[in-house]
């Protein structure tokens, strides 16, 4: 799974991407720089969510949901944000939430 890493790429997705919210996660999705590029994914858990163990678990379950739905998407960069409810959500609930967000973005999830 290719991941977004540079600050410039994060800022580009933030400024040009569309935002979608769900109680257990948030998503920002934007186009890649070149149309033929394979997509990338980033997983974010803010410090306000808790200690490192909580943040790492939140990112781990987000990664598993993304893997289950076969992210990254060709031509799209996606940033997934953990929310306070992410850490208590089941993997099935996270997959359903991500699928719902992708459908709202016009992508079959």
Query: Rounded to an integer, what distance in angstroms lies between the CA atom of residue 71 and that of residue 104?
Result: 16
Question: Which stretches of 1-100 are assigned E, i.e. beta strand?
Answer: 18-22, 25-31, 40-44, 76-82
Say which DSSP state 83 is in: -
Give the H or E element holding residue 32: none
Query: Rounded to an integer, what distance in angstroms lies between the CA atom of residue 89 and that of residue 61?
Result: 9
Residue-wise pLDDT tens digits, 86-104 = 988 988 999 999 999 999 9
Q: Is the pLDDT score of 109 beyond 70?
A: no
For the 7-104 domain, the top CATH level (class) is alpha beta
Residue-wise pLDDT tens digits, 30-89 = 998 877 788 999 999 999 999 999 999 999 999 999 999 999 888 899 999 999 999 889
Residue-wise pLDDT tens digits, 9-23 = 999 999 999 999 999
């Amino acid at each position: 799974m290719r991941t977004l890493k540079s600050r410039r790429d994060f800022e580009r997705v933030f400024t040009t991407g569309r935002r979608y919210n769900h109680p257990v996660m948030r998503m920002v999705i934007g186009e890649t720089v070149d149309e033929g590029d394979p997509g990338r994914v980033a997983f974010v858990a803010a410090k306000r969510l808790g200690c490192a163990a909580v943040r790492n678990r939140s990112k781990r379950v987000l990664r598993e949901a993304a893997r289950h739905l076969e992210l990254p998407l060709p031509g799209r960069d996606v940033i997934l944000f953990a929310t306070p409810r992410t850490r208590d959500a089941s993997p099935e609930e996270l997959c359903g939430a991500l699928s719902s967000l992708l459908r709202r973005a016009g992508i079959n999830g």
